[in-house]
Amino acid sequence: MESAELAENQIQERQKSDALSELLSLLEQAHQSLSRHWLGDDFVIELLLASVIARGHVLVVDVPGVGKTALAKSLAQILGLDFNRIQFTNDILPADILGGSIYNANEAKFSFSPGPIFTDFLLADEINRAPTRSQSAFLQAMEEGYVAADGENQALSELFTVIATQNPIDFDSTNPLPEAQLDRFLTSISLGYPDMDAELHLLGDYVEAAQESPTAVLDKASVAALRDACDEVYLHTDLARYIITLARATREDQHIKLGISPRGSMHLASACKAFALVKGRRQVIAEDIQQLIPAVWNHRVLPRHGRDNDSAQAHELLQNIVASVPVPR
């Protein structure tokens, strides 16, 4: 009886391993497809894929015209997710984002009309142009996974993912997100301007390929399965201690006013697990942690001196801490 159960367990484990191998193959195909449609830093593509798999949201801080909208839309199409875009303005209202109650004359009653937030994949463009009230309403729904209306909670998609863009803080007419709200984003990245080769491609033979609408490589069920697989990625206890040690060092650093919270440590661990999958691995390595710290922690650290949301200073302080903490062997 025990041998039969053992054999059955082995079969199930083999089937599970084969299913994961197939998912990882599809994930690599998605990676390659997005690389063909967005001619930028490959690490940015890996970060975006990892953020989606880790059930996280992304904040992109960058100047206009570097391909944020095209990248977000291509990513959603390749992952097989429904896509919406909200252009945030200085007069946008919470109802313009979340939806609201509308009177139905035929039924003689009010009913909820969902706003554009009800989708799988949302581009929140120039979120820092919105009034704080609209920002807060949006970020609260993003955090809680539902919209409260008429005494009922209207659930968002289980795959709901946000890429929010924010112009640099020295741009006019902007209302930067406060630190407490920045913490709701798993990663914060900057696309930057394309290098010479990428920009030549944009102006040359690759322009038509880059402008073609990509086809879906994954689907909603596959994305959900990858998220479940992310939870099973192995993180060695020594590497978990390494993350915590780094986080504690930020809290004790005299140059840092606000260090990394336990939630920030959990977010880094989740991002590293997802990043390992993107790399085709089933376990986290120390290099994953070091590579992802800027994207996951820069926007969570508040330097004691200098201006708020100073990503460059936060990056330098974090790199000093990484250099001072021994890497597990």
| Fold of the domain built from segment(s) 233-329 | Helicase, Ruva Protein; domain 3 (1.10.8)
CA distance 47 to 38: 14
CA distance 159 to 157: 5
Please name every residue paired with 109 in a beta bridge, in sequence order, or none if there are none.
Answer: 104
Q: What pLDDT does residue 133 have?
A: 93
CA distance 219 to 77: 9
Tell me the H-state helices in the chain.
Answer: 2-37, 42-53, 68-79, 94-98, 132-144, 179-182, 196-203, 207-211, 220-232, 237-252, 262-278, 286-297, 311-324
- HSE-CB at 151 with a 13 A cutoff on CA atoms is 2
Is residue 150 exposed (0-12), middle (13-18) or buried (19+ Cβ within 10 Å)?
Answer: exposed
**How many C-beta neighbours within 10 Å does residue 314 have?**
22
| Fold of the domain built from segment(s) 26-221 | Rossmann fold (3.40.50)
CA distance 74 to 215: 9
CA distance 122 to 209: 24
Which pTM value belongs to this model?
A: 0.89
Is residue 258 exposed (0-12), middle (13-18) or buried (19+ Cβ within 10 Å)?
Answer: middle
CA distance 317 to 64: 28
Residue-level pLDDT, tens digit, the chain, 329 residues: 566 666 556 565 666 677 889 999 999 999 999 988 877 789 999 999 999 999 999 999 876 766 788 889 999 999 999 999 999 999 999 999 999 888 777 877 888 899 999 999 999 999 989 999 999 999 999 999 999 887 889 999 999 999 999 877 555 556 778 777 888 999 999 887 767 766 666 565 555 555 567 899 999 999 999 999 999 999 999 999 999 999 999 999 999 999 999 999 999 999 999 999 999 999 999 999 999 999 999 999 989 876 656 678 899 999 999 999 999 98
Residue 156 DSSP label? P
Residue 145 DSSP label? T
Tell me which residue of 296, 294, 306 sits closest to 269, measured CA to CA: 296
Q: What pLDDT does residue 6 have?
A: 61
Q: What pLDDT does residue 177 have?
A: 81
CA distance 77 to 215: 6
Per domain, the residue ranges of the chain are 26-221, 233-329
On whether the CB atoms of residues 51 and 121 are closer than 8 A, the answer is no
On whether the CB atoms of residues 119 and 83 are closer than 8 A, the answer is yes
